[in-house]
Amino acid sequence: MKPARYASRGAELTNVMAKIDKVLASMSSIGAGMGVVAIVIMVVVITVNVVARKTLDWAWLYVEEYSGYLLVLMVYLGLAYALRMGKHIRVELLVRRLSLRVSQGLELVTTLACLVTLCYLLTKSIDYLLFSLEWGVKSEWYSESIMWPFHLLVSIGLAMFILEMVGHFIRLVVTGAKEKMPTASTPTIGE
């Protein structure tokens, strides 16, 4: 039998993990909400531009450029939320045929591989952000916008995704990789 002090430490650790998970969930939801706002802005701006071009023979030259930036914002800020909700594409054709133990091990290994890859991508995105800041990189499109704010959003999105992936990995380890990913029936924003 374990001494009572170990039991209380386990409860404290569980409380800490629950608080961290709550922060991660909030962070992911905020990112997804910002992605939704980006989609709405993109739709409105494109619609207004098309209507103005067809009716007034007038168009904003920078609509396509900023729509692309908003698309990047939507994707990168939505990655963490998509992971939390189980909305990432999962190819389970082979995994279903594996034993439970092997599939659990594979889930841990692939999660670690994703973390390593994401950390590499984050370092490269930060390098590019710093390059943009140092050299004052501007868009080559009509607007000649400074690019570092958009590069910053990519880095923020990747950092959020990494934090959510670390949380996913910890949940896998704590539950013995028995945790099921959320399914398409899991409630999402707006439901």
**pLDDT tens digits along 151-170:** 999 999 999 999 999 998 98
Compare 89 and 110 and report the one with higher pLDDT. 110
Q: Which three-class secondary structure state does DSSP give residue 170?
A: helix
With left for phi above 0 and alpha for psi between -120 and 50, is residue 183 left, alpha or beta? beta
Is residue 18 included in any domain, yes or no? yes
Closest CA to 189 of 29, 79, 42: 29
Is residue 156 included in any domain, yes or no? yes
Is residue 21 included in any domain, yes or no? yes
Phi, psi of 6 (to 5 degrees): -70, -35
Is residue 26 included in any domain, yes or no? yes
Is residue 168 included in any domain, yes or no? yes
pLDDT greater than 90 at residue 1: no
Contact predicate 69/154, CB 8 Å: no
- Per the structure, the complete domain to which residue 158 belongs is given by 4-80+98-174
pTM of the model: 0.80
Q: Which three-class secondary structure state does DSSP give residue 132?
A: helix
Is residue 183 included in any domain, yes or no? no
What tokens were used for 106?
Answer: 């594979």
pLDDT of amino acid 143:
83
Is residue 187 included in any domain, yes or no? no
Compare 143 and 66 and report the one with higher pLDDT. 66
pLDDT greater than 50 at residue 191: no
Chain-wide mean pLDDT for the chain?
85
pLDDT greater than 70 at residue 184: no
Distance between alpha carbon 53 and the CA centroid of its chain, in Å?
35
Lowest-pLDDT choice from 106-115, 118-127, 179-188: 179-188
pLDDT greater than 80 at residue 14: no
Domain count, the chain: 1
